[in-house]
Amino acid sequence: MGVTTKALERTQNRFALLGLIFFLAGAFFSKGFHHFDEHFQILEFARFKLFPMPTADLPWEFQAKMRSSLQPTLVVWVHSLLRAINIENPFWVTFILRCFTAILSWLTFRWMLSSFGREIPEKWMRLISLPLSFFFWLSIYNGVRFSSENWGGIFFAMGLCMAIRPNPGFLSGVLAGTLLGISFLSRFQMGIMLAGLVLWLLVVRKQRPLQSLSLALGFSSLLLIGILLDHGFYGGWPISFWNYFEQNLIHGKAAEFGVQPWYQYFKSLFIYLIPPFSVFFILGLFAFFWLYPRHVLSFALVPFLLVHMLLGHKEARFLFPIVYFFPVILGLSFAAASKRIRLATSTQWLWNLLLGSFWVVNGLLLAVVCSHPADKDTELYAEIFKANPDILLYTQDNPYLRAGLNLKYYQRPGLEVAASSDFSEQPGTNKKILVVGLESAGLVPREKVVYQSVPKWIRRYNFNHWLDRTRIWVLFWQ
């Protein structure tokens, strides 16, 4: 091992340790959810098992038994562990799950760099792959989410790294299959990437039959565990991955939530990857597929992207699993491009300006990710939970009504939620009544305020009266 390699390893370790701080900061501050599915199809499913409630309060996917119960079951288990030490707090549960997920994500980026790092020249490892792994705002934001997309990406990347190890033994194959099985149970669409990986192992690597058998054994074992978990969760013997396929592809349920053109994902990538810098991400991705058609990542990602482009319903989050492959892909793409395209010395300043501008903008977004909740109303739910009222009255909108569903996971069991206009207190009940409203309504007695979603110090900077156009929640005792 040369001096340069040792120096690069030290650099990698420094980047990784500093990056871990950002991942944990994101886990602490990025409360709530990116998309309603992250909440309703995991946490609300778990709430049903913890505190039985009418299934009418749950998304339609619960009745269809088309979501794997793996992640909801993990939520239930964490609740059980905390109950054993007399802690009954859903915010502690979600914080633990975010921290656990953040560490898994951080380890996944490290494993990806370890598995593919020798293919990337040192210059581009330092300039592209390392910083994108540990300091890119989307790596952190997505990396702390206890969502199906993130868990699918994490465990597929781990399983891929294990499957492509040189001379893997039988147990390594079983472990790789197990990790890929977790990825599939977390998000069934990861089966597309899995098919691409298996094709690469058979066609390009020409994997021995015993190695293929070990991979299949690990994967099928997880499928069996998933069926057993679904049996305990839903009752009966549902095959959730078949139900998912039947509902969305045969009955067309997904299309009911909107159909977008095939090029929608290009627009999504352009926005999420920071325009105008996102152009380089998109070009780098397709340059990689062109330059490395027999690479395992091309075999895994090309079918994944093509199938998603062909399906009618599209959301940017569906592509979040590929975040774990961007650092390697872009490192290799930029390294290959630099050999083919020689920049004149007089234009080197432009490259430096673009790269510097990207990291300045990224730094601002990273600061937001590591200091703000993903869903701002989650802080309101935490304050209501802390206040522990018997009754919550809302003067305008019900804060727990989200996407047409009643968000119950963050409510204490027995909390009565009602519109203030419909409520009449019975004499002598002596119940603690908390009121939630919007500050614009002008109904807030200042001396009884418990919480305001906009801190007082920000009010000094009400330029152009932006606060008058902002939704400000206020909690106060009646």
- 217/120 same-domain check: yes
- 411/360 same-domain check: no
Task: Give CA angle at 176 (170, 181), nearest 5°.
Answer: 125
pLDDT digits (tens, 9 = 90+) for 118-141: 999 988 998 899 999 999 999 999
The pLDDT value recorded for residue 428 is: 56
CA atoms within 13 A on the CB side of 408: 23
Is residue 394 left, alpha or beta, with left meaning phi > 0 and alpha meaning psi from -120 to 50? beta
- 39/158 same-domain check: yes
- 256/290 same-domain check: yes
Q: 72 is written with which tokens?
A: 């909801």
Residue keyed to tokens 């299959």: 177
The pLDDT value recorded for residue 365 is: 95
The pLDDT value recorded for residue 422 is: 74
- 284/187 same-domain check: yes
- 359/460 same-domain check: no
CA distance 66 to 54: 18
Domain coverage including residue 263? 3-369
CB 38 within 8 A of CB 75: no
CA distance 179 to 175: 6
State pTM to two decimals. 0.94
Among residues 369, 402, 427, the one where a domain terminates is 369
The pLDDT value recorded for residue 2 is: 37
How many CB atoms are closer than 10 A to CB 13? Answer: 11
Q: Which residues contact 319 (CB under 8 A, 6 or more apart)?
A: 265, 268, 269, 305, 308
CB 358 within 8 A of CB 273: no
The pLDDT value recorded for residue 255 is: 86
pLDDT digits (tens, 9 = 90+) for 39-91: 999 999 999 999 988 888 899 999 999 999 999 999 999 999 999 999 999 99
The pLDDT value recorded for residue 445 is: 61
CA distance 22 to 28: 10
The pLDDT value recorded for residue 468 is: 65
- 406/358 same-domain check: no
Q: 359 is written with which tokens?
A: 């990291």
- 441/419 same-domain check: yes
Q: 257 is written with which tokens?
A: 């939530």
- 133/166 same-domain check: yes
Among residues 369, 389, 411, the one where a domain terminates is 369
The pLDDT value recorded for residue 3 is: 40
Strands 391-394 and 433-438: parallel
CA distances from 434 to 277, 382, 385, 406 (A): 47, 13, 11, 18
The pLDDT value recorded for residue 469 is: 67
Which residue numbers in the chain have pLDDT < 70? 1-4, 343-346, 425-429, 440-447, 457, 459-460, 465-469
- 40/77 same-domain check: yes
CB 247 within 8 A of CB 66: yes
- 326/448 same-domain check: no
CB 82 within 8 A of CB 89: yes
Among residues 337, 369, 401, the one where a domain terminates is 369
Number of domains composing the chain: 2
- 107/177 same-domain check: yes
